[in-house]
Amino acid sequence: MHDHPLNILLDQNVPMPIADWLKKQQPTWLIQHVKDVGLEGKSDAFLYRWAQDHKAIILTFDEDFADARMYPYGRYYGVIRLRIWPTTIENTENALSRLFASVQETEIRDHLIIIDNNKIRIRKI
């Protein structure tokens, strides 16, 4: 059982307003955008290592983070992969709202979650 709040790192492809919105939706979580922590422009591999060092779940539109060949399951704290179209702020907020309404916080940590326009897939890592 984890006794600390979820730590979420938003990838640079996730708009900054989503970080602000998430902070309001989940005030007990640590929500950080790559710009907040000086990681803008860093490679996926660098962000992956940073997330591991900080026990952070990566929130991204980048399909690479969901690829087990590049980032093997069980070696990270979790990934939330947004696979929605169009990638508007409103659609992103709606997708994350669906996640919060249907998934327990304990299912977010240590899982690969893929959210598309219609469903949410959860894979234990």
Work out the pLDDT band at 1, boundaries 50, 70, 90: very low
116, amino acid identity: D
pLDDT at 71: 75
CA 120 – CA 82 distance, rounded (Å): 10
Burial 88-120 (b: 16+ CB within 10 A, else e): eeeebeebbeebeeebeeeebeebbbbbeeeeb
DSSP class of residue 106?
A: G
Tens-digit pLDDT profile for residues 75-103: 778 999 999 999 999 999 999 999 999 99
Classify burial at 82, counting beta carbons within 10 Å of its beta carbon; exposed 0-12, middle 13-18, buried 19 or more.
buried
* CA distance linking residue 27 with residue 19, whole number of Å: 11
In the chain, domain spans: 7-124
- pLDDT number for residue 119: 96
28-53 per-position pLDDT tens digit? 999 999 999 999 999 998 999 999 99
pLDDT(114) > 60: yes
* Per-residue pLDDT, 23: 97
Specify the pLDDT at position 3. 62
Q: How far apart are CA 102 and CA 47, in angstroms?
A: 28
pLDDT band for position 70 (cuts 50, 70, 90): confident
pLDDT in tens, 16-31: 999 999 999 999 999 9
